[in-house]
Amino acid sequence: MTLLNLTLTGCIGPRPQVPAASAVVPPPAWRTALGNGEPIRADWWSAFGDPVLTRLVGQALADNVDLAAAASRIDEARAAARLARAQQTPTLGGNLPSTTGQTVSPFGTPSDAIGAQPAVTASYDLDLFGRLRQASRAAQAQLLASEGARDTVRLAIASGVATNYVTLRALDLRLAVAQQTLAARTEALRIARRRAEAGYTSNLELRQAEAEYRATQQLVPAAQLAISRQENALSLLLGTNPGPIPRGLPLDRLLAPAIPDGLPADLLRRRPDLFQAEQTLVAADRTLDSARAAMLPNLALTGSAGVVLSTALANPIGVFSVGASILSPIFDGGRLRAQSDVATARRDQAAFAYRRTALVAFQEVDNALAGVQRSGEQAVALGLQVDALAAALRNASNRYRAGYTSYIEQLDAQRGLLTAELALVQARADRITAYVALYQAMGGGWSRDDVAATQR
């Protein structure tokens, strides 16, 4: 059942209007060409071109604890739906009462008699006003909502693994930058110490070189600590004990997947959290109908059939009974009315929650699209800055060795290059994680047919 363009009507009392997707205008960037127009596969994490990442996502989808818990909640909802359907079927039962007594005959003496009266009983609620039918439909909608919740967890797990893996590779690159810079600082400290011992420079330059070496040295254990924590976070998503995580491609070799030229707003219908909110609203609506039907009279049919068996009777005697009962509340202290009001409030809450979910979906897609575009521009600019600072450092080092400038000029160039290199690593990681966020915001991928169908 699709609710994005539906206004709920048909029950007593006013109902809030369910927001239509077209009522929320998508941002202009949705129609901007950010890629070459190729479709994105449902297994979108493989588009980054890293087989290790693909294997890690598959392991997480198989062993994650939260996903297993979501599957158990589906089993619970499925059992509740079966129970609700069973309430609409007739109830059959049987009994076998036995009796022991005496019989008195006018032509003889009293004698002992043993008797039994097996019988089958049946009852059926006609459900004239749909109380049970609406309750069954509500349970079925709750089942669909629980399946949407499971798919939301699956999407979040896949996105979490991809994001944490990209962060881990970024930390690996930060550690490599820190180690390379530390090696350069070691060489600079050696030169500064030799020059100070020879009397070419003062001890000030030696202390400055030593301080810069120590400042870079502390970056290495900090990066190693962050890597250990990131590996433990990934292990939790994978459903395993903390331990090392295998590596695949380095961060700068991960592919930037293609994005279709235009992303229609109707693709948001694929989001599992939006489907979950939709089915929760349907379930609340059916529950309200069931609560209101409970205030109306109820008609039930009952019947029984059996035989009387006794040693005092020559032949069994067949017996049966058929009856009906009408039950209608007369005075219940307002219980049924209060239950209806509770159901109404919960239905209204579900409607507004659905509206908020749709608005959040637009926000997340717009943020992810902006992240992909702007972080890419930032990475390009930072790459050019790193090249310029590397050239400046080479010039400053040559001038310092030739004795034309002081050590502070080379020191400033070293600091600027380290800062720019770390910022470039972060920008590249932000760009890849923006792609991951986009896939998650759009419901986990789509095909060319999906895009064409929503554009017709």
Closest among 450, 447, 451, 456 to 43, alpha carbons compared: 447
Residue 44 pLDDT > 90: no
Helix, strand, coil share (%) of the chain residues, nearest 5: 65, 10, 25
* Mean pLDDT, rounded, for 244-260: 85
3-state SS assignment for residue 71: helix
pLDDT (0 to 100) of residue 299: 65
* Mean pLDDT, rounded, for 236-241: 91
- What are the sequence ranges of the domains in the chain? 21-455
Contact, 205 vs 406, CB < 8 A?
yes
- Which H or E element spans position 242? none
Least confident of 217-231, 261-275, 347-361: 261-275
Tens of pLDDT, residues 82-124: 777 777 777 776 666 656 655 555 555 555 556 566 667 767 6
Least confident of 7-16, 302-311, 346-355: 7-16
What is the rounded end-to-end Cα distance, in angstroms, of the chain?
20
pLDDT (0 to 100) of residue 429: 94
pLDDT (0 to 100) of residue 350: 86
Q: CATH homologous superfamily for 21-455?
A: Outer membrane efflux proteins (OEP) (1.20.1600.10)
pLDDT (0 to 100) of residue 9: 30
User: How far is it, in rounded angstroms, from Cα 289 to Cα 285?
Assistant: 6
Tens of pLDDT, residues 184-195: 888 888 888 887
Least confident of 22-31, 94-103, 216-225, 353-362: 22-31
Alpha helices in 272-334 (DSSP H): 272-293
* Mean pLDDT, rounded, for 254-270: 69
124 or 162, higher pLDDT: 162
The residues with which 102 forms a beta bridge, in sequence order, are 112
The confidence band for 37, taking pLDDT boundaries of 50, 70 and 90, is: very low
Contact, 300 vs 325, CB < 8 A?
yes
Q: Which of 43-47, 299-303, 423-427 has the highest mean pLDDT?
A: 423-427
* Mean pLDDT, rounded, for 411-426: 91
pLDDT (0 to 100) of residue 80: 80
331 or 350, higher pLDDT: 350
446 or 150, higher pLDDT: 150
Residues 6+ positions from 41 with CB-CB distance below 8 Å? 47, 445, 447
pLDDT (0 to 100) of residue 5: 36
199 or 428, higher pLDDT: 428
3-state SS assignment for residue 347: helix
pLDDT (0 to 100) of residue 16: 44
* Mean pLDDT, rounded, for 269-289: 82
- pTM (global) more than 0.85: no
**Dihedral sign of CA atoms 132, 138, 144, 146 in order:** negative
Give 160's Cβ-side CA count (13 Å radius): 21
User: How far is it, in rounded angstroms, from Cα 235 to Cα 119?
Assistant: 62
